[in-house]
């Protein structure tokens, strides 16, 4: 049976919310009198749903939601809002609460809102289980010479990997940064042939030349090909541009600390820092980035470096 935790310092409101969920939604209900006590109950009981007041002593609803998300606890939270707590509720929704119900409307709205949130959470869990069953996931894209497209591509790839591998936010961002740098390198240095030395100049000449060449031949007809292959053990990304390439031997040494401060070497540094393998083809117009999954932890949660 579904277990719901009601967190509220008002005995009347606790009883009202709990009674509605017990009688109409057939839920088991437990109670806590403030956010700190509620947080301990969450750790001990692992409820399926949390329904919390916003204004409470010791730890309010916003602080409790923020603490849950900080600990990567994804239990859905419904806020019970009273007059004067609207700002806290809006901020709690921003940091990860699932929905809200005004206290004056508990009788009309709470049960339906709880059913909707629980159904959504169950579907999310099933989707996560399904993602864990994937044996291979392949995609292929043909991008135009637009930085917006490159950034959107990197966000898509990192979100896809995060879903399949159940990544932490930090791991997801690291993969995304490496991919974005590789894509922008293919755009600016590959297809548009804008020299990285222009990044050293104090003006905006690098991006001005890039914008100009986006509408000039032969640059404007070039494309970026992106392929990805994800398995439970490895994610492999191949990014190829239509430019003339470069001398791979002249790449900055990613292990040299002096190159960290050079704008022209930033992309290669980040790729090597956040990926497990980075290889360019012989003519320099294709890069392969590989991320390897670490074995499951003792807690059973897979992760990456």
Q: What is the CATH number of the domain that holds 153?
A: 3.30.565.10
pLDDT over 70 at 7, yes or no: yes
Check residue 60 and give left, alpha or beta (phi > 0: left; psi -120 to 50: alpha): beta
DSSP reduced 3-state for 280? strand
Dmax of the chain from CA atoms? 74
Residues 181 and 300 in one domain: yes
Residues 194 and 293 in one domain: yes
Residues 218 and 278 in one domain: yes
C-alpha dist (Å) from residue 13 to 9, 31, 36, 107, 296: 8, 11, 18, 11, 43
* Residue from 180, 173, 195 nearest 147 by CA: 180
Task: Tally the domains of the chain.
Answer: 2
**What confidence tier does 277 reach under pLDDT thresholds 50, 70, 90?**
very high
Average of per-residue pLDDT across 143-152: 96
Lowest mean pLDDT among 180-184, 223-227, 293-297: 293-297
Residues 252 and 146 in one domain: yes
Residues 148 and 231 in one domain: yes
Residues 268 and 165 in one domain: yes
Residues 262 and 146 in one domain: yes
pLDDT over 50 at 297, yes or no: no
Rg of the chain's alpha carbons, rounded to an integer?
25
- CATH code assigned at 120: 3.40.50.2300
Tokens of 7: 């967190």
Residues 123 and 147 in one domain: no
Residues 22 and 126 in one domain: yes
* Residue from 111, 116, 118 nearest 24 by CA: 111
Contact 101, 109 (CB under 8 A): yes
Domain, as residue range, for 296: 137-304
d(CA 89, CA 93): 6
**What confidence tier does 244 reach under pLDDT thresholds 50, 70, 90?**
very high
pLDDT over 90 at 262, yes or no: no
Crossing angle (nearest 10°) for helices 61-70 and 86-95 = 10
Residues 61 and 35 in one domain: yes
Per-residue confidence (pLDDT) for residue 296, from 0 to 100: 46
- Is pTM beyond 0.75 here? no
pLDDT over 90 at 255, yes or no: no
**What confidence tier does 197 reach under pLDDT thresholds 50, 70, 90?**
confident
pLDDT over 50 at 275, yes or no: yes
Per-residue confidence (pLDDT) for residue 298, from 0 to 100: 43
Domain boundary among 132, 163, 195: 132
Domain boundary among 132, 161, 179: 132
d(CA 219, CA 223): 9
Per-residue confidence (pLDDT) for residue 230, from 0 to 100: 97
> Which residue has 């291979």 as its token pair?
136
pLDDT over 70 at 302, yes or no: no
Per-residue confidence (pLDDT) for residue 299, from 0 to 100: 44
Tokens of 215: 């509408």
Residues 187 and 253 in one domain: yes
Residues 107 and 183 in one domain: no
Average of per-residue pLDDT across 76-103: 85
Domain boundary among 79, 103, 132: 132
Contact 29, 4 (CB under 8 A): yes
pLDDT over 50 at 163, yes or no: yes
> Which residue has 């993602």 as its token pair?
131
What's the chain's average pLDDT? 88
Average of per-residue pLDDT across 76-91: 82
């Amino acid at each position: 049976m579904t277990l719901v935790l009601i967190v509220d310092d008002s005995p009347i409101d606790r009883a009202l919310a709990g009674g509605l969920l017990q009688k109409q939604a057939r839920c088991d209900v437990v109670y806590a009198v403030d956010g700190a006590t509620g947080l301990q109950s969450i750790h001990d009981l692992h409820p399926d749903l949390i329904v919390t007041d916003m204004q409470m002593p010791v730890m309010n609803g916003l602080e409790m939601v923020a603490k849950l998300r900080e600990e990567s606890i994804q239990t859905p939270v419904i806020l019970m809002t009273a007059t004067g707590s609207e700002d806290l509720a809006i901020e709690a929704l921003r940091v990860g609460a699932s929905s809200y119900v005004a206290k004056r409307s508990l009788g009309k709205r709470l049960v339906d809102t709880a059913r909707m949130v629980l159904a959504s959470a169950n579907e999310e869990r099933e989707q996560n289980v399904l993602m864990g069953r994937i044996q291979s996931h392949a995609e292929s894209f043909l991008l135009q010479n637009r930085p917006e497209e490159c950034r959107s591509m990197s966000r898509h790839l990192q979100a896809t990997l995060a879903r399949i591998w159940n990544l932490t936010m930090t791991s997801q961002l690291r993969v995304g940064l490496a991919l974005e740098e590789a894509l922008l390198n293919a755009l600016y240095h590959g297809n548009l042939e804008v020299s990285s030395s222009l990044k050293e100049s104090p003006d905006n000449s690098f991006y001005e030349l890039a914008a100009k060449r986006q509408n000039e031949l032969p640059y404007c007809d070039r494309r970026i090909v992106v392929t990805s292959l994800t398995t439970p053990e490895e994610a492999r990304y191949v990014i190829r541009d239509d430019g003339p390439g470069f001398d791979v031997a002249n790449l900055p040494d990613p292990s040299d600390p002096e190159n960290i401060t050079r704008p022209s070497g930033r992309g290669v540094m980040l790729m090597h820092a956040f990926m497990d393998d980075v290889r360019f083809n012989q003519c320099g117009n294709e890069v392969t980035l590989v991320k390897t999954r670490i074995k499951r932890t003792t807690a059973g949660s897979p992760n990456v470096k």
